[in-house]
Amino acid sequence: MKKTTGGREFTGKVVGLSTKNTIKVELVRLYRHPMYKKILRKTKNFLCHVEGIDCRVGDTVVIKETKPISKNKHFLVIKKV
């Protein structure tokens, strides 16, 4: 696995397997609407680089921000939860 320094860490769910070293991870963020006070869900998908970790759809993983690996990959899978 590559070394990373700094960067944010997130926990998300694997929703897709693209290629040998790429997976799609969905992050869910809950926030309260400022005026109506209702709790809303916001989802975002990230392409992540994975090496040496066997991930399948539905697994929960920890990802960390890193320098760009390709045009759309800016995260690295650290571990499977």
**Domain containing residue 42: CATH number:** 2.40.50.140
Average pLDDT over residues 55-63: 96
Flag whether 1 is in a domain. Answer: no
pTM given for the model: 0.85
Range of the domain at 76: 9-80
Domain count, the chain: 1
Q: How confident is the model at residue 3 (pLDDT cuts 50, 70, 90)?
A: low
The Cα–Cα gap between 25 and 45 comes to 6
Residue 39 lies in a domain: yes
In a domain, 2, yes or no: no
Q: Kindly report, residue by residue over 7-53, the tens digit of the pLDDT.
A: 899 999 999 998 999 999 999 999 999 999 999 999 999 999 999 99
**In the structure, what pLDDT confidence band is assigned to residue 6 with cuts at 50, 70 and 90?**
confident
What is the Cα–Cα distance from 15 to 3, expressed in whole angstroms?
Answer: 25
Residue 28 lies in a domain: yes
